[in-house]
Structure 1
Amino acid sequence: MPRARIPHARVLASADSPFLSLPPPFLAPRLLHAAPFPPPSRTASAKPSAAATACAHAQQKKEQDSFCPRRSHGASGLIGLRYAHISAFAHQQTRRYATDSTPLVRGVDSLPQMSRTSRARRVPKVLSRVPTASLHRPPPRSAPDVIRKVPSKTKTPTSATSHDERLMNLRRRRALATERRRLDIMLSYEPDTGDAALMQMGRYRTLQRRLYNYSRTNPTVLDMGRPDEPLQSSRLLFRAFAGVARNLYPGARRSSHAIKINHDPRTKLWLSHIFRETGIQEEEPVWNNWMALEQGLRQTSWPRMLLYLVDRKPDRALQFLRVIARDPSLEVNPPILADTLEILARRYIKGEMQGTSKKSTFVPTFCHIFRQYLADTKPVCTQDLLLSIARLAHAEDLKLVYHLIEDKVFWGYDTLLHWANTFGKLGEHKYALFCLEKIVRIGNSSAGKQDLVARERFRWSCALILRESVSNGQNYHMTADIVAQFLKLGVKLDILLYNVIMSNAMEAGDYSVAFRVFSLLEENGVQPDKKTYSILLHGCSVAENPPMFRDFAERCQKKALEWQDPWLASDCLYYEYICHHNHSEDMEQVYSILHRTYSKFFAHERLEWISAGYNRTTQRLAMQRELKSESETSDQGSLFEPQPLLEPPTVAIYIMLQTEIQRAMAISTRHVWDLYLRFRLVVRERQNPLILELARNPTVWNAFLFAFCKKQQFANASHLIKSMPSPNIYSWNIFMQAFFKTSQIQAAERVYHIMQTRDVQPDQFTFGVLLRGYARAQRAEKIGQVMERMDNEKQLHPAMLQALSRMRDRESLMRELEQGRLRKETAEKEKVEREEAEKRGRWELPRFKPLVSLSPRGDVEL
Structure 2
Amino acid sequence: MRSVSLRNARSTASATSPFLPFLAPRAFAEVQLHTQQDERSHIEQKKKSRSAGGNVSAWNGKERAALGARYADIFSFARQQLRSYSTKGSGGALPQTGGRVPRRRFERNQKFKVEQAENKEKSANPHRVIHQVASVRAIPGRTIRKMVSVWGRVVPWRTQGFERFSTHLQPGLGVHSRRPARRNPVFISDGRRHRRLKLIRKSLHAYRCYGLPKVRKGSKMMDGRYRSLYRRIHALSAPKVRTLSLYEPLDTLPGKYITTAFAALDRKVYARLSRRAHPIYLRHLPDCASWTASLFSSGAATEPDQVWRHWNTFDEEIKERYWPHLLIYLLEKFPHRAQHFLQALTHRPSVESLDLCIIADAFENLARGYVNRSWKSVAKERLQESKDQFIPTFYHIFREHLAPYQRICSQDLIFCVAELASLEDLRRMFELMKESDTHIGHDVLLHYTNKFAKFGDFEKALSCLENIVKGAANNEARVQLANEQKFRWSCALTLHRSMMNKDAYHETTGIVATLVGYGVKLDILLYNVIMHNAMKAGDVDTAFKVYNTLDENGLKPDKVTFSTMLYGCTMTADPVKFNDFADYCAETAKEMKDPWLAADYLYYQYVRLHRESRNTETTLGRSQQILQTYLQFFSPRPLEPVWAVNAASSRAGPNGILTESTFMDPPPMALYIMLQLEILKVSSIDKEQVWTLYEKFLELVITNHDPILSKLAKDSIIWNAFLLFFCRVQHFERASQVIRDMSASGAQPNVYTWNILMQGFFKNQQMQAAERVYEIMRSRGIEPDQFTYEVMLRGYARAQHVRRVGEIMEHVNEEERLDPKLLQDLARVHDQRRVLHELEKARVRREQKKEKAAKAKEERKKLRWAPPEFAPLIKPKEVVDGEGGLNLKPLIDPGSRPGFRFVSVFKSRAI
Q: CA deviation at 1:715?
A: 2.4
Task: Tell me what 2:421 maps to.
Answer: 393
Task: State whether structure 2 residue 334 is matched by structure 1 residue 302.
Answer: no
Q: CA separation in 2, counterparts of 1:447 and 1:488? A: 13
Task: Tell me what 1:517 maps to.
Answer: 546
Go from structure 1 to structure 2 and tell me whether the alpha carbon gap of 1:308 and 1:437 turns closer, same or farther (over 3 Å shift).
same
Of 744, 769, 777, the residue aligned with 2:791 is 769
Q: CA deviation at 1:449?
A: 2.2
Q: Considering Cα pairs closer than 8 Å and 6+ residues apart, tell me whether 1 or 2 has the greater RCO.
A: 2
Q: CA separation in 1, counterparts of 2:814 and 2:509? A: 30
Is the CA contact 1:772–1:803 (under 8 Å) kept in the aligned structure 2?
yes
Q: CA deviation at 1:549?
A: 0.3
Go from structure 1 to structure 2 and tell me whether the alpha carbon gap of 1:285 and 1:519 turns closer, same or farther (over 3 Å shift).
same
Go from structure 1 to structure 2 and tell me whether the alpha carbon gap of 1:263 and 1:98 turns closer, same or farther (over 3 Å shift).
closer
Of 358, 370, 390, the residue aligned with 1:362 is 390
Q: CA separation in 2, counterparts of 1:325 and 1:518? A: 59
Of 355, 368, 372, the residue aligned with 1:350 is 372
- TM-score, length basis structure 1: 0.77
Cα deviation digits, residues 632-680 of structure 1 (max 9, x gap): xxxxxxxx89981111111111111100101111112211111111111
Q: CA separation in 1, counterparts of 2:506 and 2:307? A: 54
Q: CA separation in 2, counterparts of 1:238 and 1:829? A: 51
Task: Tell me what 1:570 maps to.
Answer: 599
User: Which of 168-177 and 184-193 deviates more?
Assistant: 184-193
Task: State whether structure 2 residue 457 is matched by structure 1 residue 428.
Answer: yes
Is the CA contact 1:202–1:379 (under 8 Å) kept in the aligned structure 2?
yes
Q: CA separation in 2, counterparts of 1:578 and 1:99? A: 71
Go from structure 1 to structure 2 and tell me whether the alpha carbon gap of 1:668 and 1:199 turns closer, same or farther (over 3 Å shift).
same
Q: CA deviation at 1:846?
A: 3.0
Cα deviation digits, residues 153-185 of structure 1 (max 9, x gap): 6579xxxxxxx9997222222222212222222
- Structure 2 counterpart SS, 1:389: helix
Go from structure 1 to structure 2 and tell me whether the alpha carbon gap of 1:154 and 1:537 turns closer, same or farther (over 3 Å shift).
closer
Task: State whether structure 2 residue 282 is matched by structure 1 residue 261.
Answer: yes
User: Which of 833-842 and 218-227 deviates more?
Assistant: 218-227
Q: CA separation in 2, counterparts of 1:217 and 1:751? A: 62
Go from structure 1 to structure 2 and tell me whether the alpha carbon gap of 1:820 and 1:645 turns closer, same or farther (over 3 Å shift).
same
Go from structure 1 to structure 2 and tell me whether the alpha carbon gap of 1:568 and 1:456 turns closer, same or farther (over 3 Å shift).
same
Task: Tell me what 1:237 maps to.
Answer: 258
Go from structure 1 to structure 2 and tell me whether the alpha carbon gap of 1:398 and 1:193 turns closer, same or farther (over 3 Å shift).
closer
Q: CA separation in 1, counterparts of 2:825 and 2:82? A: 88
Of 406, 410, 414, the residue aligned with 1:382 is 410
Q: CA separation in 1, counterparts of 2:217 and 2:263? A: 17
Task: Tell me what 2:831 maps to.
Answer: 809
- Structure 2 counterpart SS, 1:492: coil
Go from structure 1 to structure 2 and tell me whether the alpha carbon gap of 1:176 and 1:777 turns closer, same or farther (over 3 Å shift).
same
Code of the residue aligned with 1:750 in structure 2: it is R
Task: State whether structure 2 residue 329 is matched by structure 1 residue 336.
Answer: no
Code of the residue aligned with 1:391 in structure 2: it is E
Q: CA separation in 2, counterparts of 1:98 and 1:235? A: 41
- Structure 1 counterpart SS, 2:196: helix
Please give the residue correspondences for 1:51-200 in structure 2 after superposition, counting only pairs within 5 Å.
152=97, 154=99, 168-189=189-210, 190-191=212-213, 196-200=218-222
- Structure 2 counterpart SS, 1:348: helix
List runs of 5+ in structure 2 lacking aligned partners: 1-40, 45-79, 102-184, 876-890, 892-898, 900-911
Cα deviation digits, residues 339-370 of structure 1 (max 9, x gap): 11111111222233542242221111111101
Cα deviation digits, residues 602-650 of structure 1 (max 9, x gap): 1222211122133368x534x43xx23xx6xxxxxxxx89981111111
Q: CA separation in 2, counterparts of 1:740 and 1:541? A: 32
Of 328, 339, 352, the residue aligned with 1:318 is 339
Q: CA separation in 2, counterparts of 1:99 and 1:697? A: 51
User: Which of 753-762 and 654-663 deviates more?
Assistant: 753-762
Is the CA contact 1:345–1:388 (under 8 Å) kept in the aligned structure 2?
yes
Go from structure 1 to structure 2 and tell me whether the alpha carbon gap of 1:744 and 1:647 turns closer, same or farther (over 3 Å shift).
same
Is the CA contact 1:280–1:356 (under 8 Å) kept in the aligned structure 2?
no
Code of the residue aligned with 2:628 in structure 1: it is R
Please give the residue correspondences for 1:264-275 in structure 2 after superposition, counting only pairs within 5 Å.
264-275=285-296
Is the CA contact 2:452–2:458 (under 8 Å) kept in the aligned structure 1?
yes
List runs of 5+ in structure 1 lacking aligned partners: 1-25, 30-95, 102-137, 143-147, 157-163, 632-639, 857-862
Go from structure 1 to structure 2 and tell me whether the alpha carbon gap of 1:509 and 1:455 turns closer, same or farther (over 3 Å shift).
same
Code of the residue aligned with 2:381 in structure 1: it is G
Is the CA contact 1:280–1:316 (under 8 Å) kept in the aligned structure 2?
no
Is the CA contact 2:609–2:623 (under 8 Å) kept in the aligned structure 1?
no
Cα deviation digits, residues 298-330 of structure 1 (max 9, x gap): 222211111111122111101111112213232
Of 507, 528, 553, the residue aligned with 1:478 is 507
User: Which of 682-691 and 845-854 deviates more?
Assistant: 845-854
Go from structure 1 to structure 2 and tell me whether the alpha carbon gap of 1:195 and 1:234 turns closer, same or farther (over 3 Å shift).
farther
Q: CA deviation at 1:400?
A: 1.4
Is the CA contact 2:250–2:322 (under 8 Å) kept in the aligned structure 1?
no
Q: CA separation in 2, counterparts of 1:349 and 1:225? A: 31
Go from structure 1 to structure 2 and tell me whether the alpha carbon gap of 1:531 and 1:228 turns closer, same or farther (over 3 Å shift).
closer
> Larger radius of gyration, structure 1 or 2?
1
Task: State whether structure 2 residue 603 is matched by structure 1 residue 582.
Answer: no
Is the CA contact 1:278–1:285 (under 8 Å) kept in the aligned structure 2?
no
Q: CA separation in 1, counterparts of 2:83 and 2:389? A: 54
The sequence identity of aligned pairs, in percent, is: 38
Of 707, 713, 719, the residue aligned with 2:731 is 713
Q: CA separation in 1, counterparts of 2:856 and 2:99? A: 59
Q: CA separation in 1, counterparts of 2:674 and 2:579? A: 21
Is the CA contact 1:98–1:152 (under 8 Å) kept in the aligned structure 2?
no
Task: State whether structure 2 residue 817 is matched by structure 1 residue 795.
Answer: yes
Of 642, 649, 653, the residue aligned with 1:610 is 642
Q: CA separation in 2, counterparts of 1:325 and 1:843? A: 17
Q: CA separation in 2, counterparts of 1:750 and 1:209? A: 59
Go from structure 1 to structure 2 and tell me whether the alpha carbon gap of 1:485 and 1:641 turns closer, same or farther (over 3 Å shift).
farther
Of 350, 373, 376, the residue aligned with 2:401 is 373
Q: CA separation in 1, counterparts of 2:717 and 2:703? A: 20
Q: CA separation in 2, counterparts of 1:221 and 1:591? A: 73
Task: Tell me what 1:755 maps to.
Answer: 777
Q: CA separation in 2, counterparts of 1:429 and 1:242? A: 38
Task: Tell me what 1:691 maps to.
Answer: 709
Q: CA deviation at 1:851?
A: 1.5
Q: CA deviation at 1:797?
A: 2.3
Task: State whether structure 2 residue 703 is matched by structure 1 residue 677.
Answer: no
Q: CA separation in 2, counterparts of 1:547 and 1:642? A: 31
Q: CA deviation at 1:410?
A: 0.6
Go from structure 1 to structure 2 and tell me whether the alpha carbon gap of 1:387 and 1:149 turns closer, same or farther (over 3 Å shift).
closer
Is the CA contact 2:672–2:718 (under 8 Å) kept in the aligned structure 1?
yes
Please give the residue correspondences for 1:411-450 in structure 2 after superposition, counting only pairs within 5 Å.
411-450=440-479
Task: Tell me what 1:620 maps to.
Answer: 651
- Structure 2 counterpart SS, 1:279: helix
Go from structure 1 to structure 2 and tell me whether the alpha carbon gap of 1:266 and 1:753 turns closer, same or farther (over 3 Å shift).
closer
- Structure 1 counterpart SS, 2:388: coil
Code of the residue aligned with 2:757 in structure 1: it is F
Count of residue pairs the alignment pairs up? 701
Code of the residue aligned with 2:635 in structure 1: it is A
Code of the residue aligned with 1:172 in structure 2: it is R
- Structure 2 counterpart SS, 1:327: coil
